[in-house]
Amino acid sequence: MGYCTKCGAELKDGQSFCTQCGKPVNDISSNIPSNVNDDGGFLWGLLGFCVPVAGLILYLVWQTERPLSAKAAGKGALVSVILNVIFVIIYIIAMIALAASGAFIFEPGVGY
């Protein structure tokens, strides 16, 4: 389904000529440029995950040109950042726990 580029008449699927003006439909079929390699692939997500900064840049640069790839890269970057934040929080909690338990262990030794 599309519209004639010449007269704007509505066109049905499989229609090869516009019923209003007779313009061939062939050149209307691709409204979205198909020559762009917008696969939204897993690799872009992986890249975003491994290099969040690159993922973020690709997400911003490709938003209009390659929306699917941009989303994949951005999602990878986001997941990476979230995991990093979680890891840092766990690390800090572990350090606090370790410091707390360390204090308990070493306290009796003070009056040796």
For binding to Zn ion (CB under 5 A), which residues are involved?
Answer: 4, 6-7, 9, 18, 20-21, 23
Kind and range of the H or E element at 44?
A: helix 42-50
Minimum distance between the CB of residue 2 and Zn ion, rounded to whole angstroms?
A: 11
Q: Residue 21 or 98: which CB sits closer to Zn ion?
A: 21
Paired residues of 24 in beta bridges? 17
Q: Residue 9 or 92: which CB sits closer to Zn ion?
A: 9
Q: Residue 23 or 75: which CB sits closer to Zn ion?
A: 23
Q: Name the nearest CA neighbour of 6 among 33, 22, 26, 16.
A: 22
Minimum distance between the CB of residue 1 and Zn ion, rounded to whole angstroms?
A: 14
d(CA 45, CA 105): 46
